[in-house]
Structure 1
Amino acid sequence: MRIAEILRRKGSDVATVTPETTVRTLLATLAEHNIGAVVVSPDGNRIVGMASERDVVRGLHAHGSDLLDIPVSEIMTVDVHTCAPDDRVDSLRGTMTEHRIRHLPVVHEGRLIGIVSIGDVVKSAISELATERQQLVEYVQGQY
């Protein structure tokens, strides 16, 4: 299965914040959308970072309660791994596991077009296994 198929199923909405957004507003955005990470982008297309719950926890450790009024740019992860719509989900599983990443922005021709979470990847794997199982059952039942 390709990443484009996941985006077709789940949609291409991506929560973003600007680098100047405060951590307080970031937390409100995460809570409002019930998500664990957002893309940090000055214009909604270009990616300059990712801000996740992990980044907030690390920021709390470093800055204490002052963190809430600090811009997201000070705590975001700047080394952002991305994927393309034509990438295969099975290769993405390896990337996410190896780098301990739970969210990957999807980029096409330099523009942000979606985001894939580890939950999306697991869901697609379960779907593929169910399809394979059904095909095997049909094959075995057709043989007898």
Structure 2
Amino acid sequence: MRIAEILHRKGSDVTTVPPETTVRSLLGTLAEHNIGAVVVSADGATIAGIVSERDVVRSLHARGADLLDTPVSEIMTADVRTCAPGDRVDGLRTTMTEHRVRHLPVVHEGRLIGIVSIGDVVKSAISELATERQHLVEYLQGKY
């Protein structure tokens, strides 16, 4: 399965915030959209970074409550791993595991076109296994 298929199923909406957004505002955005990370982008198309709930928790522990009025640009991950629509999901599993990331922005021709989470990857694996199982059952029942 390719990343494009995941985006086709889930949609290509990506929540972004500009770098100057405060952590307090970021938390509202995460809660409002029920998501775990957002792409930091000045224009909604290019990627400046990514910031997750984990980034907030770790920074909050280190810096205290004053962090809430800090811009997300100070806690975001600037070296963002990305994927392309034509990439295979099994390769994405490896990338996510090896680099301990749960969200990968999808980029096409230098522009942000979607985001894939570890949950999306797990759902695709479950779907593939269910399809395989169904084909095996049909084969064993002589339907092929």
Indicate the residue corresponding to 2:110 in structure 1.
Answer: 110
Equivalent residues in 2 for 1:6-45 (5 A)? 6-45=6-45
Equivalent residues in 2 for 1:1-144 (5 A)? 1-142=1-142
Quick one: distance in 2 between partners of 1:25 and 1:70?
10
Deviates more, 1:56-65 or 1:121-130: 56-65
Quick one: distance in 2 between partners of 1:111 and 1:117?
18
Runs of 4+ in structure 1 over 4 Å off: none
Shift of 1:27: 0.2
Quick one: distance in 1 between partners of 2:142 and 2:15?
48
Shift of 1:62: 2.2
Quick one: distance in 2 between partners of 1:89 and 1:58?
29
Paired residue type of 1:11: G
Quick one: distance in 1 between partners of 2:85 and 2:119?
17
Shift of 1:59: 1.2
Quick one: distance in 1 between partners of 2:126 and 2:61?
37
TM-score, normalized by length of structure 1? 0.97
Quick one: distance in 1 between partners of 2:91 and 2:74?
31
Paired residue type of 1:97: T
Aligned residues: 143
Shift of 1:71: 0.3
Shift of 1:63: 1.5
Paired residue type of 1:115: I
Long gaps (5+) in structure 2: none
Shift of 1:43: 0.4
Secondary structure of 2:64's partner?
Answer: helix
Deviates more, 1:109-118 or 1:55-64: 55-64
Deviates more, 1:134-143 or 1:121-130: 134-143
Deviation per CA, 1:23-77, whole angstroms, max 9, x where unpaired? 0000000000000000000100110100101110121122200001000000001
Quick one: distance in 2 between partners of 1:91 and 1:139?
29
Task: Among all aligned residue pairs of Structure 1 and Structure 2, give the percentage whose two residues are the same amino acid.
Answer: 83
